[in-house]
Amino acid sequence: MGTDLNAPLGQNRKVSPGRKRAPRHSAARLAAFLVVAGVLGLSLWSAFGPRGDFRTPDPVDQQADEADIQPAVPATSSENAEVSPSGGGVRRERGLSGASVEETRNADGSVVRKFTPKDRDGTGPLIIEASRIGQDPRSAGFPNEDLVEATSYGKLPIVGPDGLRPMEQYARPWSGARGTRIAIVVGGLGLSQTGTQKAIRDLPPEVTLAFASSGNSLPRWMQEARREGHEILLQVPLEPFEDPANEPGPHTLRTDFSAKRNLDELHRAMGQITNYTGIMNYMGGRFLADADAMEPVMRDLSERGLLFLDDGTSAQSLSGTIAGALDMPHAFADVQLDATLSRDAILRKLDELERIARRNGSAIGVASAFDESVEAIAEWYPEASQRGLEIVGVAALAEQNSQQ
């Protein structure tokens, strides 16, 4: 047809007479390439040579660089892990323990951190504690080793190096809402195996359990109660007004003892178990009314970061006055729930406790681990929760009282 419209594209194309294809590798391009290669080689030799900036830094230079840039969250090695002496090889690590932290600082000043797990040495279970307040039920049976000291009486509670108190670590978490709150404390655990087992099994975890220091198998029951979510107290026998022959046990704290002897008896009792938020008196009308006897005991508890719960049975008790002077967490029980040991009487006392709580914002009821008490409290609890009451651990109310 006299045209190349039907010719395959790119084939038999005529070259315009005014445009000639330049040689692919001209002498000028070759010279430019050699210059660039020479400059690049000189730069690399300067950087990685014996006097370059990317050489292995001298120790002094490296220390100066590390001083200029420090990770905001330092990595802690697995050497900080602790092994509980009686935990059967259980290792404890805190926070970022066992993590490698790699930090990169960008040109604009921003910092990117990369967290990767380190290889873990050793065998057996590992507990990583990430929370300060309260404990996960799965590890609640183990004490925080930062909050105990080893003594001839056993492990005694102390305030941690960062100011964390046992009362905070072992408290049962609650909502924090300023509604109507009730704490119920059931005491006497450890004295009867069947009664202790029934209380731990049947009572809701919101109920605080108090273990008698003279009880049996206390470490076992403590761990079981903590795993079930209960906050716990330790009951210590104090001298009553009645005939000394009827005192509650051979290790009772007495007004005619020296302060040292009473503290020895207190520490002997406290060493029976761990993981409690505070101390509750067992009897003790005479002791609670004696300021000289009470003050050293209350001061020791305050310095150890514990609360004191007065069961409210003694009108002459000075525990509140002394606690106020020491600025320590303290609370009084408002109602003795099972003074009359029958289901109906206990339920009426629980209703009275609710009325007090609605009037004052909070209230504390105490009972003993009798079958009738446990059954009545377990029956009352679901209905009370539906009426908008929040059952809290006693530490929540003791802390509130100490701040008023």
CB 332 within 8 A of CB 312: yes
Averaged pLDDT, 274-285: 96
Tell me the C-alpha distance between 388 and 404, whole Å.
Answer: 24
Has residue 149 got a pLDDT over 80?
yes
pLDDT of residue 77: 38
pLDDT above 90: residue 340:
yes
pLDDT at 343 over 90: yes
Q: What is the mean pLDDT of residues 126-131?
A: 47
Dump pLDDT digits (tens) for 388-400.
999 999 999 997 6
Task: Give me the mean pLDDT over the 353-364 stretch.
Answer: 97
Report pLDDT for 144: 93
Mean pLDDT over each residue of the chain, to the nearest integer? 79
- pTM value is 0.68
169-217 pLDDT, tens digit each: 999 999 888 899 999 999 999 999 999 999 999 999 999 999 999 999 9
| 134 confidence band (pLDDT: 50, 70, 90) | low
* pLDDT bracket for residue 74 (50, 70, 90): very low
The pLDDT > 70 percentage for the chain reads 64
279 φ, ψ (degrees, to nearest 5): -115, 140
Kindly state the average pLDDT of the residues 224-238. 96
* Banded pLDDT at 106 (limits 50, 70, 90): confident
What residue ranges define each of the domains in the chain, with the CATH number in brackets? 84-130 (no CATH), 146-402 (3.20.20.370)
Buried b (16+ CB within 10 A) or exposed e, 21-55: eeeeeeeeeeeeeeeeeeeeeeeeeeeeeeeeeee
**Range name among 15-29, 98-112, 265-279 with the lowest pLDDT average:** 15-29
DSSP, collapsed to helix, strand or coil, labels residue 359 as helix
Residue 250: the pLDDT is 83
Q: What percent of the chain has pLDDT over 90?
A: 59
- The C-alpha atoms of residue 185 and residue 86 are separated, in whole angstroms, by 29
Question: What's residue 4's pLDDT?
Answer: 47
- Angle, helix 371-386 to helix 193-202, in steps of 10 degrees: 10
Q: What confidence tens digit (pLDDT) does each residue in 286-336 have?
A: 999 999 999 999 999 999 999 999 999 999 999 999 999 999 999 999 999
pLDDT digits (tens, 9 = 90+) for 6-27: 444 444 444 444 444 444 555 6
* Confidence label for 120 from pLDDT (cuts 50, 70 and 90): low
Q: What is the mean pLDDT of residues 221-229?
A: 95
Q: Which residue has the tokens 């409210």?
A: 312
Segment 369-379 mean pLDDT: 97
- Rounded mean pLDDT, 69-85: 41
